[in-house]
Structure 1
Amino acid sequence: MPSSSPRPKALFFDVFGTCVDWRTSVTEELYTKAQTALGSTTSWNDDRARMIAGAMTHEDWGEVAQEWRDGYLKFTREVASNPSPTEPYKTVDEHHVESLRTILTGRGLLFSRKDSLPAKVAHDGSLWDAAQIYELSMVWHHLTPWPDTCSGILELNKMFSTVTLSNGNLDLLNDMVKHGNMQFTHIYSSEMFMSYKPSPKVYLGAAAKLGLKPEECVMVAAHLDDLKAAKSNGFSTVYVERPREERHPEMKGGGFVDVWVEMGEEGFVTAAEKLRELVGA
């Protein structure tokens, strides 16, 4: 932390990728559900979709997971970049199910109906029916934490308030926190501020809601673009490297990271040790 800054009072956490291993959880769910569908004799299974899915490997489903994640990033960035939106606010849950249908269609795993019946009433030609696609989109509510996440949060709770600050909506975050037994002191979502990171509305809104000045807040993330935005809004920053999570390696050396936890260290546990030394707790 900069020596001129006041003692931090709260840590705000990115969640997807920083606290949880979304890639392993989502890939495994897609692969497992595909194998179940391929083993089913349900009449609505479309032969075209079955043939394509039958040739897909676990790695192929990992590419679907990444495409899904990339769509989420594009969606949230577009909303964040518009300070005066005219469209109603859409949650990440709403986006996720729409995005999944688009991805499945693009990969030949879902064929739109030709008649006038809506998808909620009757099944498109697909590997899954509409209800199963919706259920599959909820996988983001049940992601597995990194091995150091839960114990590290408990250590950090001894020194600070610990607050989620994710683009995931509140229902999603509450389910995920409960599923992973992540004992944050507060659950905040970009949904509370009707925008998405990296909009200043989210960082400044979160600080104000907790009754803090930005300089009393710290953003913890595995993504340098998130930390750069938080820093520009007055937060201090902690970078926790996670496998395959950094989207902008060219930002390394940008000078906006105050505490750096490297890949070979123990994530949030190491972050707690380094922050304890800095604040003298």
Structure 2
Amino acid sequence: MSISPLPKVLFFDVFGTVVEWRSCVTRALMRAAERALLDSEKQLSVDVRVRAGAMTLEDWQAIAKEWRASYGRFTASFEPSSAFVSVDEHHYTYIQTLLQQRGLDGMLTDEERWDLALCWHRLEPWSDTVEGLKLLNHQFRTCTLSNGNVALLEDLQNYGSLPFTDVASAEHFGAYKPSSQVYHGAAKRFGLEPSECGMVAAHLYDLKAAKALGFMTIYIERPQEENLSAERIAEARQEGFVDQWVGLGCGGLVEVAKRFGIPAETNS
């Protein structure tokens, strides 16, 4: 089924929608701890060594999950009238809090914490992301619209060979989604009305905010990203703020291109 009328630009949420963060961030946490424990010159207390050595895969996964959740709380509570604080800065600050909570304070130097915080710049695309974006580029300009700061998004684009035609960040607009300032700013950046824009995301709050301003909306269900119950799915469908719903395992961004009438063989 094709989608009409067609938007002129498709904007994309990035974390969880375009790239996968759980396994990537968990691996980065584990590697940072392993390097710290193997560093013979690092003066770690016995307690920190014992605690770090006893951490399981599930423990590190829990830290990754809480780190991600803290990002959501940070962006949701940010006041646009305040001095802008980047997501990179938040990630750096909050990983120290998480390590302290688990008795791992002192395991990493300041430089090592910054390097760990930058693991969010090195996330892997979902398997359909690159192909799907290439297909969509035949018909649209494709642009990030993420709460991630500009440098973060540019690094993700380079690291994952993400073929976006443009990069836009909440940083450009001095606010964070779901502030209307971000969506209006993105449309204006391209000289468009919101009705000429599409928003693609794996998060209902993002699409609900975009739809309220006139964006066309496409939901991409991703593994573990929202874990919606059948009741919540039915509720969201009834509310009507999602124009197209791409379910789990249905092809992701490649399916989005198909629904716009772009055949997969276009990339061949």
Same structural fold, with TM-score higher than 0.5 when normalized by the shorter chain: yes
Question: Shift of the alpha carbon at 1:76?
Answer: 0.2
> TM-score, with normalisation over the residues of structure 1?
0.87
When residues 248 and 233 of structure 1 are mapped into structure 2, their CA distance, relative to the original with a 3 A threshold, is farther
Q: How many residues align?
A: 258
Question: Shift of the alpha carbon at 1:252?
Answer: 3.1
Q: Give the aligned partner of residue 44 of structure 1.
A: 43
Gaps of 5+ in 1: 111-125
> Residue 36 of structure 2 contacts residue 42 of structure 2 at CA under 8 Å; is this kept in 1?
no
Q: Identify the match of residue 240 of structure 1 among 220, 225, 230.
A: 220
Q: Could you tell me how far apart the structure 1 residues matched to 2:212 and 2:225 are?
A: 21
Gaps of 5+ in 2: none
Letter of the aligned partner of 1:41 in structure 2? S
Q: Give the aligned partner of residue 162 of structure 2.
A: 182
Q: Could you tell me how far apart the structure 1 residues matched to 2:6 and 2:116 are?
A: 43
Q: Could you tell me how far apart the structure 2 residues matched to 1:133 and 1:38 are?
A: 15
Q: Could you tell me how far apart the structure 1 residues matched to 2:75 and 2:32 are?
A: 27
Q: Do residues 263 (structure 1) and 248 (structure 2) align?
A: yes
Matches within 5 A, 1:204-223: 204-223=184-203
**Helix, strand or coil: the match of 1:45?**
coil
Q: CA RMSD in A?
A: 1.9
Question: Shift of the alpha carbon at 1:248?
Answer: 6.1
> Residue 224 of structure 1 contacts residue 248 of structure 1 at CA under 8 Å; is this kept in 2?
no
Q: Give the aligned partner of residue 99 of structure 1.
A: 94
Q: Give the aligned partner of residue 76 of structure 1.
A: 75
When residues 96 and 75 of structure 1 are mapped into structure 2, their CA distance, relative to the original with a 3 A threshold, is same
Percent of residue pairs bearing the same amino acid type: 47
Residue-by-residue CA offset, 1:180-201 (whole Å, 9 max, x unaligned): 0001010000000000000000
Question: Shift of the alpha carbon at 1:50?
Answer: 1.3
Q: Could you tell me how far apart the structure 2 residues matched to 1:43 and 1:23 are?
A: 28
Question: Shift of the alpha carbon at 1:42?
Answer: 2.3
Letter of the aligned partner of 2:21 in structure 1? W
Q: Could you tell me how far apart the structure 2 residues matched to 1:47 and 1:9 are?
A: 59
> TM-score, with normalisation over the residues of structure 2?
0.92
